[in-house]
A = this chain, B = another copy of it.
Amino acid sequence: MAIKLTDVAKKAGVSVTTVSRVINNHGYLSDKTKHKVFTAMKELNYQPNSLARSLQGKKMKLIGLIFPGITNPFFAELVQDIESILFAKGYKVILCNAQQNKEKERAYLRMLLANQVDGIIAGAHNLGIKEYQELGLPIVSFDRKLSDNVPIVSCDNYQGIKFAVHDLIQSGCQRIFFLGNKQLKGNPTDQRLRAYLNEAKELDFIPHICSVAFSDSILLKNMTIHEMLQKDHPDGVVCTDDLTAILVLQEARKLGLKVPDDLKVIGFDGTKEIQTYHSELSTIAQPINDIAILLVKLLLQRISHPQQELTKMHYILPVKLIKSTTTA
């Protein structure tokens, strides 16, 4: 059995109450006793049982992270940053890969509740608003509208696509396609398509939307991209994520199209990984680390002041154009 409070008390020659008081710094305590207790704890390598503590009302210091998965480098970097920041603040993280699965996400929510997490950072959103509202837990959301009382953090999606379109225009493109999800669901990411359409009007070019969904298989995406390139002859493609942009580059190569001469491509996300291992790709970089910092900050605020009114519901962080050779 693991070491417990009574063992520490015995070793230190004090009562359990005193040990507990030392740990929780509660009531009067002499330096001598504190020292005795701390050394006993060290010698026995004592770790208070989180479960028992939190039954008493103490916080579990546990956060649930719900994301579609971590194989997309964007989510991998975001989740890793969030975990690191939380760990530094003494929090632990339960990882939930919800994929595109409603039932799995619902099961995760129940499980997180049963495990007394202090809060949730949600970046996957297969469920309706209702199930999130009913939780009665501090939640913050990345890039999706979950419910009226859940703050959202996102990058400046509108400005990002505006940058992208302007970059292509300045590089001389005339047939600029939008490649991404075309469904508008009331989420911040809807601004990407909005920005594209507005800029088309503004800059007077004809909008062309080629629709691929996040959940489409690679084969399907490749097919769609192949058809677009072959039939519609775009000279510029704005992609709503970097991975899709790379598929475009690969299909272009197969078709013998020269990038950037025949075709210019720009992505979205700007992860370290893509910038390192696909350094040719121009992209719109989301400030991943800042997003992570803000998500954590807002969540911890909600946790420590649950009934405090939210002054701001939507936090928009700036994006950066990273120009490379695919739009040279």
Residues of B within 8 A of A50 (CB): 114-116
- Does A226 lie at the interface of the complex (its beta carbon under 8 Å from any beta carbon of B)? no
Q: In the complex where A50-B116, A76-B70 touch, is A250 in contact with B273 (Cβ < 8 A)?
A: no
Residues of B within 8 A of A277 (CB): 243, 246-247, 250, 278
Residues of B within 8 A of A94 (CB): 92-95
Residue interface mask A130-163, B partner, CB < 8 A = 1: 0000101000000000000000000000000000
Complex copy number for this chain: 2
Residues of B within 8 A of A83 (CB): 95, 97
Q: Is the CB of A93 within 8 A of B92?
A: no
C-alpha spacing A80/B69, complex, angstroms: 7
Name the segment of A11-19, A20-28, A51-59, A291-299 touching the other chain: A51-59
Residue interface mask A97-140, B partner, CB < 8 A = 1: 10000001001001101111000000000000000001010000
Smallest CB gap from A112: residue in B: B92
C-alpha spacing A55/B97, complex, angstroms: 27
Smallest CB gap from A93: residue in B: B95
Q: Is the CB of A47 within 8 A of B114?
A: yes
Q: How far is the CB of A56 from chain B (nearest CB, A)?
A: 10
- Which residue from B54, B84, B134, B136 sits with its C-beta under 8 Å from A97? B84
Residues of B within 8 A of A247 (CB): 277
- Does A234 lie at the interface of the complex (its beta carbon under 8 Å from any beta carbon of B)? no
- Does A207 lie at the interface of the complex (its beta carbon under 8 Å from any beta carbon of B)? no
Q: In the complex where A80-B70, A218-B276, A246-B277 touch, is A51 in contact with B48 (Cβ < 8 A)?
A: no
Q: Is the CB of A114 within 8 A of B278?
A: no
Most interface-central of A2, A50, A114, A278 (chain B CB within 10 A): A114
Q: Is the CB of A49 within 8 A of B116?
A: yes
C-alpha spacing A294/B60, complex, angstroms: 31
- Which residue from B47, B76, B79 sits with its C-beta under 8 Å from A113? B47
Residues of B within 8 A of A49 (CB): 55, 114, 116
Q: Is the CB of A110 within 8 A of B47?
A: yes
C-alpha spacing A116/B276, complex, angstroms: 39
- Does A77 lie at the interface of the complex (its beta carbon under 8 Å from any beta carbon of B)? yes
Smallest CB gap from A250: residue in B: B279
C-alpha spacing A45/B246, complex, angstroms: 45
Could you write out 13 A-B pairs with CB less than 8 Å apart? A45-B134, A47-B114, A50-B115, A51-B115, A52-B55, A62-B115, A65-B95, A71-B76, A71-B80, A83-B95, A83-B97, A87-B107, A218-B276
Q: Which 9 A-B pairs have the closest CB atoms?
A: A47-B114, A95-B95, A51-B51, A76-B76, A50-B114, A246-B277, A70-B76, A50-B115, A71-B76
